[in-house]
Amino acid sequence: MELIDILLLFFTFLFLLWWWRFCSATTHKGSKNLPPGPPGWPIVGNLFQVILQRRHFIYVIRDLRKIYGPIFTMQMGQRTLIIVTSADLIHEALIQRGPLFASRPKDSPIRLIFSKGKCAINSAEYGPLWRSLRRNFVTEMISPLRIKQCSWIRKWAMEGHMRRIEEEARDKGFVEVMSNCRLTICSILICLCFGAKITEGRIKSIESILKDVMLVTLPKLPDFLPVLTPLFQKQVREAKKLRKKQVELVAPLIRSRKEYVESNGKLENDEMVSPVGAAYVDSLFELEVPSRGRLGEEELVTLVSEIISAGTDTSATAVEWALLHLVMEQKIQERLYSEIVECVGKNGEVLERHVEKMAYLGAVIKETFRRHPPSHFVLSHAATSETELGGYRIPKDASVEFYTAWLSENPEMWEDPNEFRPERFLNGDGVDVDITGTKGVKMMPFGVGRRICPAWTLGVLHINMLLAKMVLAFKWLPIPNSPPDPTETFAFTVVMKNPLKALIVPRSIYPS
Ligand code: HEM
């Protein structure tokens, strides 16, 4: 090693040390009385300890919970993560002291490419912008009246879904559940957002690009060590290219809807099927948000994209996991089938008002969410000001991560938690579950408190309808010599590593 190399190394080390101290001083104002946590290395904290384990972050957390219990700290480079795992502390933070823990941490530079100025419901900090966006979404897209008005969109999409799976079974001999459910749910959400029925090809392009956006925005090294950002310029360039593609795909739909709205519905446009005022984006054209005024096209692209992304994978994943259990445990499928037949008849049509009455269907879906929560954490939260939780200090700019998967795995709260047993929600340890967490948290697939998923009833409606229609029309069976594989993998939501493929036999020809 030459002298110059040694000097360079020395000054780099000094610089990093100075930078670390500077960051610690400005971001943490001293790390006194943070929750305990694994001892870290200088400068990088626990970051490389996690990376070197070469397994998903949630497995690391699963093990650390056993050592550090209900609340602990991980110093991931420059970011402080406070991990909260106990039901009591989650309830205290998100319900009893809800407003204090309702904010979001700073976004990474790559995430900011996809939501300029954090102008999206999921990423906006707790404050007037978030309130205005969320209130508009709730009144314009998911009020009970709007959900009822738009039931024809779900009817149209589900008829297409049933035709498609029948054709797929004829052509391939089996049905791939996830891809079909994603396509159907995505087409419903696109129609709710733009009031437009578009071709399957365009739906698939939007769906695929939004999936890429979700993957590209997952945390990367520079999110924890911003000093490394210059080394990741290629990723930043690729993210910008992806954003450009997303805008090119989504903005034309916004423009044609705008023209249609401005013509008061008189413009000839075969794609536009919802009356003026009934699509989510119509409300965004008019919306004035605090300290920004009217929203620009880029912001509209972000706001509709977040809805399509947030509602597609979460619901499709749940249908896939539920069907996995129905395929593997035919008794459960037959009990569900009997309930559906009892309600609508063998040759009847499942309507939205029917599924609300199907108690066993509800139990199957709740058990699916308990056993396979779509995500193991809710989105990252942050405190609006420095506070304390469980006797420890929570700095304002720490990311507060609620590890919710543990709630539904905890043997102190659930009998045989690894078993799939829908009956527990009819007459067992699930009867008292309040999914909104107001009374206490036992499982929380949608989060709880101020940031609870605003559209969870719509998501559950999609899952209810898909499952009830698919089970009434077909018996679902495993493929001989190729049984379903329940191994999990992480693709934003927790999905099946090998997507579920199943045989379907029309009920009309299946001997019962
Ligand atoms: C059944 C499937 C669904 C599940 C499991 C689910 C789950 C979640 C979770 C865990 C959160 C984060 C809560 C937190 O940060 O504490 C969330 C937030 C959100 N979800 Fe859902 N969701 C579902 C369906 C939907 C649908 C259908 C839409 C839209 C049509 C949607 C839109 C949103 C939005 C906009 C947020 C951000 C809320 C905020 O930050 O204020 N979700 N969802």
Q: In what order do the strands lie in the sheet with 474-477?
A: 175-176, 501-506, 474-477
Closest C-alpha to ligand 1, atom 37: 122
Same domain, 368 and 444: yes
The atom of ligand 1 lying closest to the CA of 451 is 41
Q: What is the pLDDT of residues 321-374, one digit of tens each?
A: 999 999 999 999 999 999 999 999 999 999 999 999 999 999 999 999 999 999
Q: Are residues 245 and 277 in the same domain?
A: yes
Q: Please, which residues have CB within 8 angstroms of residue 437's CB and are 6 or more apart in sequence? A: 91, 94, 95, 444, 448, 449, 452
Atom of ligand 1 nearest to the CA of 452: 13
Q: What is the CATH number of the domain that holds 208?
A: 1.10.630.10
Residues 285 and 388 in one domain: yes
Residue 315 alpha carbon to ligand 1 centre in Å: 10
Q: Do residues 297 and 347 share a domain?
A: yes
**Do 278 and 137 fall into the same domain?**
yes
Both 456 and 367 in one domain: the answer is yes
22 token code pair: 């500077």
Mean pLDDT within 494-506:
95
Rounded percentage of the chain residues whose pLDDT exceeds 70: 93
Q: What six digits make up the tokens of 371?
A: 């056993």
Does ligand 1 come within 6 angstroms of the Cβ of 115? no
Closest residue CA from atom 15 of ligand 1: 379
Residue nearest to atom 1 of ligand 1 (CA): 459
**150 and 9 housed in the same domain:** no
How far is the centre of ligand 1, averaged over its atoms, from the C-alpha of 435 (Å)? 13
C-beta 315 within 6 A of ligand 1: yes
Pick the atom of ligand 1 nearest to 369's CA. Answer: 5
Give the global pTM: 0.92
Distances in Å between the alpha carbon of 67 and those of 36, 56, 60, 61, 71?
A: 10, 18, 11, 10, 10
103 Cβ contact partners less than 8 Å away, ≥ 6 residues apart: 125, 126, 127, 381, 382, 383, 384
What amino acid is encoded at 59 in this protein? Y
Judgement on whether residues 302 and 439 belong to the same structural domain of the protein: yes
Within-domain flag for 512: no
Q: Which atom of ligand 1 is nearest to the CA of 448?
A: 16
Query: Residue 109's pLDDT is what?
Result: 87
343 is in an annotated binding site: no
**Confidence check: pLDDT of 118 > 70:** yes
311 lines ligand 1 (CB under 6 A): yes
Determine the Cα–Cα distance for residues 132 and 105; give it in Å rounded to an integer.
19
Kindly state whether residue 118 falls inside one of the protein's structural domains: yes
Residue 217 domain-assigned (yes or no): yes
- Please check whether residue 212 lies inside any domain of the structure: yes
- 314 and 391: one domain? yes
**What pLDDT does 511 receive?**
55
In tens, the pLDDT along 442-482 reads 999 999 999 999 999 999 999 999 999 999 999 999 999 88
Please tell me whether residues 212 and 95 are part of one structural domain: yes
Asked whether residue 197 is domain-assigned, the answer is yes
Bridge partner residues of 393 (DSSP):
388
Kindly give the distance from the C-alpha atom of residue 452 to the centroid of ligand 1, in angstroms, as a whole number.
7
348 and 438 inside one domain: yes
Q: Provide the domain count of the chain.
A: 2
Q: What is the mean pLDDT of the chain?
A: 92
Q: Do 10 and 44 sit in the same domain of this protein? A: no
Phi-psi region of 93 (alpha: psi -120 to 50; beta: other; left: phi over 0): alpha
Q: Whose CA is nearest to atom 13 of ligand 1?
A: 447
Tell which one of 375, 446, 463 to mutate to probe ligand 1, the residue whose CB is within 8 A of the most ligand atoms: 446
Ligand 1 centre and the CA of 451: distance in Å? Answer: 8
pLDDT tens digits for range 35-49: 999 999 988 999 999
Identify the domain containing residue 16 by its residue range.
1-30
Task: Tell whether ligand 1 has an atom less than 6 A from the beta carbon of residue 316.
Answer: no
Q: 120-127 long-range contacts, Cβ below 8 Å, gap at least 24?
A: 120/302, 120/303, 120/306, 121/303, 121/306, 121/454, 122/306, 122/310, 122/379, 125/382, 126/99, 126/102, 126/384, 126/450, 127/103
Cβ(458) – ligand 1 distance below 6 Å:
yes
